[in-house]
């Protein structure tokens, strides 16, 4: 054992000698140095264990192994040399040891998992590299972390849509809410696309974020409470029709079929309600109260563009009507204030049409009485924390595939399905090994 722990023994001898001379412990250096020594010795132990002659154990194929081949493996303890034999099977040449260990390229499953976790949690791949170096004591270039995400992202995205979900044993009210936000893209990804630039071009592509959560209880004031750890997210760059299938599948996994009630929360964008109509036909549709209030301000401003106190007066008055299921009364009062012509009349008519079209989705007094949320704050916050924090940092310009990969990883992390994915991945790797043999 002393030979295997040579790094640690040597370090202990050095610090003891320094203490004998100085009479003081350099605690920061002691901590860092001892950790590094222990990691190196741990890596030596790992190398010795995995390079034993019978390291395949009961998983050895019923065939003659061919010459050993060596590869450098990167692990949480450091890098080591792995010598393993290969076998010719009906499926082709295989290295069973690589499958048994769950290697992805040259990375151990523990390190691969941590690489993707850092990439999906931090603000950039460079930050992920720093995080791994500081907190895990391993050095992995940002480019390799990005490459790992490009392999794991598609797999975790596919698994997410078919996973087994334990958070659906009892579902009182299930909420689905979704919205879109722009992600900065490379020029090759935006060519020919209309946007908000002065020349009509676009620098972004819209990604749609969806969230599903449940509620079974209320606070002392009768306001519904979101169930702890019940919020899951999905994200995609596809068109609304395809995204509708994505969010519906997530809702099914979360217990939509056994839910007592289903509710769709969103702003007034037509695509949101089209998805609801097709994919959640029995769901209660509620337009976010705060979006509705923003439209009240726009409506009042169209009538009193230079009188802020008047705008506030009418917004306050109409807000009370809005809270008491009297949306159409707002429209009726606005009709009496319409300018005879000009752009302000056009704006007012547009806003009035918004309230008339969504009147049934603005019955906030009734919704509150029935125990529903009336705000879509979950998805509004998600667009910032899930999408924005990871894909909208200064200087970032993405390809669609790269952004989708990192968002699939990030959604799994914030949805608390990440550990489950890696457990399933391990099971699948071992199962494939059995089939290959």
Say if residue 339's pLDDT is above 60. yes
Q: Is 63 left (phi over 0), alpha (psi -120 to 50) or beta?
A: beta
Confidence (pLDDT) at 1:
47
Query: With contact defined as beta carbons under 8 Å apart, do 403 and 237 qualify?
Result: yes
* Contact status, residue 430 vs residue 101, Cβ threshold 8 Å: no
> Is residue 210 over pLDDT 80?
yes
Alpha-carbon span 140 to 148, nearest angstrom: 11
Task: Give pLDDT, residue 3.
Answer: 61
User: Could you read off the pLDDT of 259-286 as tens digits, one per residue?
Assistant: 999 999 999 899 999 999 999 999 999 9
Max Cα–Cα distance, the chain, nearest Å: 94
Binned at pLDDT 50, 70 and 90, residue 96 comes out as: confident
Structure tokens at 73: 């493996």
Highest mean pLDDT among 13-17, 119-123, 200-204: 119-123
Mean pLDDT score, 310-333: 97
Q: What's the predicted TM-score (pTM) here?
A: 0.91
Q: Where are the beta strands (DSSP E) in 275-362?
A: 284-287
Higher pLDDT, 44 or 432: 44
d(CA 420, CA 429): 14
User: In the block, which residue shows the tokens 């590869």?
Assistant: 71
**For residue 366, what are its two tokens?**
């009734």
């Amino acid at each position: 054992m002393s030979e295997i722990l040579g790094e640690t023994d040597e370090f202990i001898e050095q610090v003891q000698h320094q203490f004998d001379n100085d009479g003081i412990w350099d605690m920061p250096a002691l901590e860092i140095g001892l950790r590094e020594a222990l990691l190196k010795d741990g890596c030596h132990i790992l190398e010795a264990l995995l390079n034993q002659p019978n390291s395949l154990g009961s998983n050895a194929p019923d065939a003659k192994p061919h010459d050993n081949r060596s590869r450098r493996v990167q692990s949480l303890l450091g890098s080591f040399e792995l010598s393993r034999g290969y076998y010719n099977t009906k499926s082709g040449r295989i290295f069973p040891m690589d499958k048994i260990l769950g290697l992805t390229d040259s990375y151990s499953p523990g390190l691969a998992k941590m690489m993707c976790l850092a990439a999906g949690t931090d603000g950039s791949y460079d930050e992920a590299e720093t995080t791994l170096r500081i907190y895990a004591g391993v050095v992995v270039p940002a480019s390799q972390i990005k490459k790992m995400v490009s392999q794991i992202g598609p797999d975790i995205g596919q698994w997410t849509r078919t996973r087994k979900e334990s958070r659906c044993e009892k579902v009182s009210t299930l909420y689905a809410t979704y919205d879109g936000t722009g992600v900065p893209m490379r020029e090759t990804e935006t060519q020919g696309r209309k946007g908000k630039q002065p020349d009509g071009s676009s620098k972004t592509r819209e990604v749609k974020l969806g969230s599903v959560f449940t509620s079974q209880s209320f606070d002392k004031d009768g306001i519904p409470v979101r169930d702890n750890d019940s919020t899951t997210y999905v994200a995609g760059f596809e068109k609304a029709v395809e995204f509708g299938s994505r969010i519906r599948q997530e809702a099914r996994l979360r217990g939509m079929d056994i839910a007592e009630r289903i509710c769709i929360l969103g702003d007034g964008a037509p695509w949101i309600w089209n998805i609801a109509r097709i994919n959640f036909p029995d769901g209660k549709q509620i337009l976010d109260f705060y979006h509705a209030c923003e439209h009240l301000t726009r409506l009042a401003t169209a009538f009193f563009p230079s009188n802020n106190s008047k705008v506030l007066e009418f917004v306050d008055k109409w807000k009370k009507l809005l809270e008491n299921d009297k949306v159409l009364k707002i429209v009726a009062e606005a009709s009496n204030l319409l300018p005879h012509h000009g752009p302000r009349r056009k704006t007012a008519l547009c806003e009035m049409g918004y309230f008339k079209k969504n009147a049934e989705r603005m019955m906030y007094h009734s919704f509150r009485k029935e125990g529903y949320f009336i705000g879509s704050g979950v998805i509004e916050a998600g667009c910032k924390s899930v999408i924005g924090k990871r894909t909208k940092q200064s200087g970032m310009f993405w390809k669609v595939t790269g952004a989708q990969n990192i968002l699939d990883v990030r959604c799994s992390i914030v949805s608390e399905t990440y550990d489950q994915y890696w457990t399933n991945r391990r099971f699948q790797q071992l199962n494939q090994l059995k089939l290959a043999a």
